[in-house]
Amino acid sequence: MKIIVGLGNPEEKYAKTFHNMGYIAAGDVAATLGVKFKKKECEAVVAEANVGGEKVIIARPVTYMNNSGRVVKQLLARYKATSADLIVLYDDYDLPKGHVRIRPSGSAGTHNGMRSVIAETGVSDFVRIRIGIRDPEVNIPIINYVLAEVRPQDYELFISACGRAADAAIALCRGESVENVMTKYNG
């Protein structure tokens, strides 16, 4: 079993913001696997897929970013899963825009959603797939930046990064090792 959680904010006004890269990537996972977000459970909209005989849950929390951990904790309990089954997709201000970085564990960095996930679950040893959003040309406070819409000239770059992040998550679901996936998709 794998549980893929794409972090973001649920309202339409956030759909094209930097903070919704995890939502977009989770949508790409669902689309690639041919499933739709049909049900609501554990404070998330959820799609279910089967990859190589293994159940895959794809979730988008509806709690807003700073309470994402509550959803992850509920999903892990609902599906009797462990941190080894968890993959979290999210935007990362600490990475240059368009970069994708996969890690098997780590800290929350500057990300409040990840702080919530780690605090609520009590673990940090789960795969995270980070989508870089930092633009050195933009100099505004982080909170304003992450909630801003992606500039039209950068939109394709971010859509491509979300697609690569989704491909990495699917590769993990297919049984590829984290090390192999890191080699293929980091950068």
Residue in 19, 73, 97, 164 annotated catalytic: 19
19 given a catalytic annotation: yes
Listing DSSP states for the chain in one string gives -EEEEE----SGGGTTBGGGHHHHHHHHHHHHHT----EEETTEEEEEEEETTEEEEEEEESS-GGGHHHHHHHHHHHTT--GGGEEEEEEEEEEETT-EEEESS---TT-HHHHHHHHHHS---SEEEEEEEE-TT--S-HHHHHTSBPPGGGHHHHHHHHHHHHHHHHHHHTT--HHHHHHHH--
What residues are labeled active site? 19
